[in-house]
Amino acid sequence: MYSPANKWPTFLIVAIGVFMSTLDSSMVNIALPFIMKDFHSSLNDTQWVVMVYLLTITATLLFWGHLSDRLGRGKIYTAGLLIFGLGSLACAYAPTLPFLVVARFCQALGAAMMMAAGPAIIKETFPREQLGRSLGLIGMAVSLGLMSGPSLGGFLLELASWRVLFFITVPLGLLFAFLAIRILPGPTQHHTGPLDWLGSLTWATALVLLCLTLTHASSSSWSASRLLLTGSAGAGALGCFIAIEARLPHPLLAMKLFRNRHFTLAIVSAVLSFMVLFGVILLIPFHLDRVLNLPPSKIGLVMLAVPSSILVVSPLAGWLSDYVGTRLISTLGLSVSTLGVFLLATIQTSTPPLIIAGQLMLVGLGQALFLSPNSASVLSHVEASKAGAAAALLATARNLGMLLGIAQGALIFSLYFRGLTNGLDLRDFTPEHTASFLTALHGAFFGAALTGLLGIAASWLRGNSNHLSEE
């Protein structure tokens, strides 16, 4: 246990880490069109600036959680702050797109370490009667990062290069890494179970191979046989991972959790929910930049609609779910979000930015109604001894959904756009390609909306039970 005297300094260190990781993620999304222009890169290549971040977090989050139980959560969190700050510095000076992608990988390693250790540090630092309040304040730090990212990023992009966005987190990361060394002590107890190295390796291998297959499915440089080989290898690695985890006494992923139907469908609907959200977040900035020719500051204001609605509605959603039940509120939220995506699939060149912001707000409102009740649903359907594993799995599902949503959106858009423009990429866009752009955008959004319908079905089919004992 950490010292109660240091609980608020400890809280500040964890909150700053959460704020930096969410701020960076939301700023980089709106910077993609400008990064593409600077490096004259394709959409398939440029999306890896975002995808490698999410892929790395998804692949390593469970591993860092296991490692923090053994080496100490304070050590893992401090190392995460330092790596994140140095990774940000490397991103700011990236001379090429591949260098930027590698630097983002380093950033993501630091972010994953903070995500894995941060909530556990808060749980150990605060007494039980203050735990809900402290975790709620951490949630506010998440919302603040998501809200300030688009507007701050848009403002900075209008004044300077996209590289400035990465400079912001460098001094914060390095300063708070130094403070963490002074304030966060080592643990009093260590977990002695063996690390699941084989499971970690096969999980990461499966994710990388499957993401490579998805992102290059529309690329002319990859043959059908190469895609088939990579996809088959990824599926094989995923099968090996499941087989390994089912047999180990201390697995990276507790497969026994999935015997609970309510738990399983809640996790599946979480993945599908974030696929919907990030399929939209990836492509809307390109429409605002390429088709509507909005300045970066206005792009940031339009994109602010999503996190602002999440910030306002999330507390209400949690309160409602306590009285109405998680199944109804979560399903209603996904329905509202999917409706917003269907509306976005009808936008034209004449659609005002204010209308687009309203549709984005509908997407965000639905996500807010879904997220808190669904998270509570997941954690209420596991034993107390498995709550940590369930929380890590929920975070992994969230990042996996983001990753798959970006891959799906980029794939559908690229297939449509290439087919309508005789093989051109988004980097070759000129005003005469506007009609093709809109057709491709509508196709990608309809794909996201269909994913939303699957999420609605999964959310509803989980059943009415709200307590472990009822399953």
Residues 11-37, buried b or exposed e (16+ Cβ, 10 A)? Answer: bebbbbbbbbbbbbbbbbbbbbbbbbe
Single out the residue of 347, 265, 255, 240 nearest to residue 302, CA to CA: 347
Mean pLDDT of 293-302: 88
pTM of the model: 0.79
Provide the 3-class DSSP secondary structure of residue 202: helix
Mean pLDDT score across all residues of the chain: 83
225 residue type, one letter = S
Dmax (CA) for the chain in angstroms is: 66
Rounded to whole angstroms, the Cα distance separating 318 from 336 reads 16
- The residue ranking higher by pLDDT, 402 or 273, is 273
Q: Half-sphere exposure of 422 toward its Cβ, with a 13 Å CA cutoff?
A: 0
Over residues 206-225, the pLDDT tens digits come to: 988 988 888 777 676 787 88
pLDDT range class, residue 467, cuts 50, 70, 90 = very low
User: What angle separates helix 128-159 from helix 305-324, to the nearest 10 degrees?
Assistant: 160
What proportions of the chain, in percent to the nearest 5, are helix, strand and coil? 85, 0, 15
Q: What whole-number distance in Å separates Cα of residue 405 and Cα of residue 82?
A: 29
Q: What is the 3-state secondary structure (H, E, C) of 407-457?
A: HHHHHHHHHHHHHHCCCCCHHHCCHHHHHHHHHHHHHHHHHHHHHHHHHHH
| pLDDT exceeds 70 at position 374 | yes
Residue 61 has pLDDT above 70, yes or no: yes
Residue 17 amino acid letter: G
245 in Cβ contact with 251 (< 8 Å): yes
Residue 304 has pLDDT above 80, yes or no: yes
The pLDDT of residue 268 is above 90: yes
